[in-house]
Amino acid sequence: MCGIIGYIGTRPATPILIGGLKRLEYRGYDSAGLALLEPKSILTYRSVGKVAHLVEKVRLNLTPERQNELTVGIAHTRWATHGAPTEANAHPHYDKSRRICVVHNGIIENYRTIREKLQAKGHKFDSDTDTEALSRLIGECYRGDLRKAVINALRQIEGAYGIAVLCADEPDKMVVARKGSPLVIGIGEGECLVASDPSALVAHTQRVIYLDDGDVAVITPDLVDIRNLDDEPIERNVSELGLDVGAVEKGGYEHFMLKEIFEQPETVRNALRGRIDLKEGTAILSGMNATPAELAEIARIIVVGCGTSLHAGMVGEFAFEDVAGISTEVQQAAEFRYRNPIVDRNDMVIAISQSGETADTLAAIRKAKEKGTKVFGLVNVVGSAIAREAGRGVFIHAGPEISVASTKAFTGQVAVLLLMALKLGRTRRLSNEDSLKLAQEINRLPELVEYVLKQNDAIAKVAERMAQSDHAFFLGRGPMHPVALEGALKLKEISYVHAEGYHAAEMKHGPIALLTPGVPVVVLANHSPVLDKVWSNAEECKARGARIIAVVTEGEPKTDLADDTIVLPPCSPLVATIPAAVALQLLAYHVARLRGCSIDQPRNLAKSVTVE
């Protein structure tokens, strides 16, 4: 949920830390702070609100000449979990001696017990945070060796952490550690960095080490020494990031979200690249690392995820059942992890996550592994915890998704789910003809997305007529039901409109009572076997004064039911979920833009929910 960046080397640390915080701000942005090592002491600056406020505070307090002398530092942008977003609660946090300071991402679950023990020893806490319990505990454990102090402290805590620690008495090093929250080390020439995610490192290096849970690393300008919590040396590979600065810049778009919406022909192409066999009508998903026999014995699929990833999984349910004939259920990851799920060794559990760090999804995958079933990841961020925990699965290759509202990840996830269904279907009941047809249609997805993007201006006009309403409904049937849920989520999370997604048949069972004249109802009325039923549901809403925004398939007969129309390219209902989702992404984006909302960093949200 929070962003961490650290630097140790020979260049001035301050601009590097600030630049890193700006890249990480999407992870959480209610307060920020930084610490700089100076001979025999630590300087800290903290501020409430966005990183710009911290930049101003540093400018007022630290001359450029002084900044040039300080080459070791850590910094943090916060999404509050314990304690309101105040300056006192902003990171970094000190130990009692104020010679050690810590930035932390995660939740320390036993922090109250630790806090009480330390208070009994005379500690006077400066903040309400769980992090300060850790920083003070590290100080209590310090006997002249920072790594040992950090290890001894971490062995006493329960919960999740990604931390960077500085000590005024050991100015030549930084200690970092992770468990449950992402942390990646960047290796430069005579310098090292650490960050919550690679987007903060791309400007400085392509060489990275992804830390794993339980790793504790001492980093100096020329060395990375990784140990486990038993202080035993650990080997971790150096990977190539394969990202460029452009990938994390806005590229001329007003918002990251718009950039990422318009990247989707390319990102869907990336998700499909090298994975469609148009001759055999199947999919090549080597990352699944599963034998045909293993795939053939799958009796049931369970998909777990949260938010947008959960909605993608719901589309996947239709794909697996209708294409592959495999019984599938979708569970919210937090439910799966706590309900003692019924999982059989012949089940296939698929964990879907853009960030690969969502706490509930990570816990769900661990629960599935405990049950001894097959686990696969469907993830965007390479090196993420869920990707490594699953050990096998499929990356969607959507590139960094910076905007808090997920767009290209959703379409990449659904595209891969279609491929998985095609592959599994090919080993089961899918006929040669049907599989070739589906493979060809999936292969056309980039152009189907392009078709919708070309309607951006028309969709912006529809948004103008929608932006004044504080309520909205999204209705769909079949695989368009999860698309309706996703469209509602997009609208609510970036424009703060109270939007509800419903199964179209569900409206008359209660929600229709909410309809008042003029309320916009978006109806996914694409070509499908139940299209007439969808129009009937739209009619029921229209009769109550609703304003119908119909998402239709090109070539379908026109109807005066629709007050506004968005047109999809002709394709099957399952494949149409992706262009339909793009249309609703654009609709939500323009409504939020017209309502003057903070689109890339909506209030109360953060990009990766690494807490429960």
Residues recognised as catalytic: 2, 607
Q: How far apart are CA 207 and CA 204, in angstroms?
A: 9
Give me the torsion for CA of 489, 446, 440, 291, rounded to 10°. -70
How many of the other CB atoms lie within 10 Å of CB of 148? 16
Position 314: which residue type? M
Which run of H or E residues covers position 378?
strand 374-379
Minimum Å gap between C-beta 142 and ligand AGP is 36
Of the residues 14, 71, 328, 608, which one makes contact with ligand AGP according to CB under 6 A: 608
Minimum Å gap between C-beta 526 and ligand AGP is 22
3-state secondary structure 50-104: CHHHHHHHHHHHCCHHHHHHCCEEEEEEECCCCCCCCCCCCCCEECCCCCEEEEE
Residue nearer to ligand AGP on the CB measure, 12 or 487:
487
Window of 232-240, 349-357, 368-376, 443-451 that interacts with ligand AGP by CB under 6 A: 349-357
Minimum Å gap between C-beta 609 and ligand AGP is 5
Minimum Å gap between C-beta 185 and ligand AGP is 22
Site membership for ligand AGP, residue 585 (CB under 6 A):
no
Minimum Å gap between C-beta 177 and ligand AGP is 22
Site membership for ligand AGP, residue 610 (CB under 6 A):
no
Residue nearer to ligand AGP on the CB measure, 3 or 73:
3
Considering only residues 464 to 493 of the shown chain, the ones binding ligand AGP according to CB under 6 A are 489, 493
Of the residues 14, 31, 135, 353, which one makes contact with ligand AGP according to CB under 6 A: 353
Considering only residues 375 to 404 of the shown chain, the ones binding ligand AGP according to CB under 6 A are 404
Nearest residue to ligand AGP, using CB? 307
Q: How far apart are CA 578 and CA 516, in angstroms?
A: 30
- Sort residue 479 into left (φ over 0), alpha (ψ -120 to 50) or beta: alpha
Q: How far apart are CA 186 and CA 324, in angstroms?
A: 43
Site membership for ligand AGP, residue 1 (CB under 6 A):
no
Site membership for ligand AGP, residue 435 (CB under 6 A):
no
Site membership for ligand AGP, residue 405 (CB under 6 A):
yes
Q: How far apart are CA 220 and CA 241, in angstroms?
A: 21
Contact characters 292-311, ligand AGP, x per CB under 6 A? --------------xxxx--
Residue nearer to ligand AGP on the CB measure, 191 or 500:
500
Residue nearer to ligand AGP on the CB measure, 72 or 365:
365
Query: Considering CB under 6 A, how many residues would be counted as binding ligand AGP?
Result: 16
Residue nearer to ligand AGP on the CB measure, 153 or 409:
409
Give the tokens for residue 580.
């339909």
Site membership for ligand AGP, residue 205 (CB under 6 A):
no
Site membership for ligand AGP, residue 609 (CB under 6 A):
yes
Q: How far apart are CA 523 and CA 506, in angstroms?
A: 13
Q: Rg for the chain (alpha carbons), in Å?
A: 25
Of the residues 264, 406, 455, 495, which one makes contact with ligand AGP according to CB under 6 A: 406
Residue by residue, DSSP assigns 99-149 as SEEEEEES-BTTHHHHHHHHHHTT---SSS-SHHHHHHHHHHH-SS-HHHH
Minimum Å gap between C-beta 311 and ligand AGP is 8
Minimum Å gap between C-beta 121 and ligand AGP is 39
Strand order, beta sheet including 215-220: 93-94, 100-105, 161-167, 174-179, 215-220, 223-227
Residue nearer to ligand AGP on the CB measure, 43 or 404:
404
Return the half-sphere exposure (C-beta side, CA atoms, 13 A cut-off) of residue 387: 18
Residue nearer to ligand AGP on the CB measure, 262 or 451:
262
Minimum Å gap between C-beta 269 and ligand AGP is 21
Residue nearer to ligand AGP on the CB measure, 125 or 253:
253
Window of 350-358, 445-453, 476-484, 502-510 that interacts with ligand AGP by CB under 6 A: 350-358
How many of the other CB atoms lie within 10 Å of CB of 299? 11
Residue nearer to ligand AGP on the CB measure, 149 or 387:
387
Site membership for ligand AGP, residue 361 (CB under 6 A):
yes
Burial 44-81 (b: 16+ CB within 10 A, else e): bbbbbebbeebbebbeeebeeeebeebbbbbbbbbbbb
Minimum Å gap between C-beta 607 and ligand AGP is 7
Give me the torsion for CA of 349, 355, 356, 361, rounded to 10°. -50
Minimum Å gap between C-beta 306 and ligand AGP is 4
CB 566 within 8 A of CB 480: no
Give me the torsion for CA of 269, 272, 275, 276, rounded to 10°. -90
Considering only residues 79 to 138 of the shown chain, the ones binding ligand AGP according to CB under 6 A are none
Considering only residues 241 to 260 of the shown chain, the ones binding ligand AGP according to CB under 6 A are none
How many Å separate Cα 501 from the centre of its chain?
21
Q: How far apart are CA 606 and CA 406, in angstroms?
A: 11
Site membership for ligand AGP, residue 355 (CB under 6 A):
yes
Minimum Å gap between C-beta 165 and ligand AGP is 27
Site membership for ligand AGP, residue 364 (CB under 6 A):
no
Site membership for ligand AGP, residue 331 (CB under 6 A):
no
Contact characters 487-526, ligand AGP, x per CB under 6 A? --x---x---------------------------------
Q: How far apart are CA 125 and CA 146, in angstroms?
A: 21
Residue nearer to ligand AGP on the CB measure, 14 or 264:
264
Q: How far apart are CA 461 and CA 307, in angstroms?
A: 28
Q: How far apart are CA 413 and CA 437, in angstroms?
A: 21
Residue nearer to ligand AGP on the CB measure, 197 or 564:
197
Contact residues for ligand AGP (CB under 6 A)?
306-309, 353-355, 358, 361, 404-406, 489, 493, 608-609
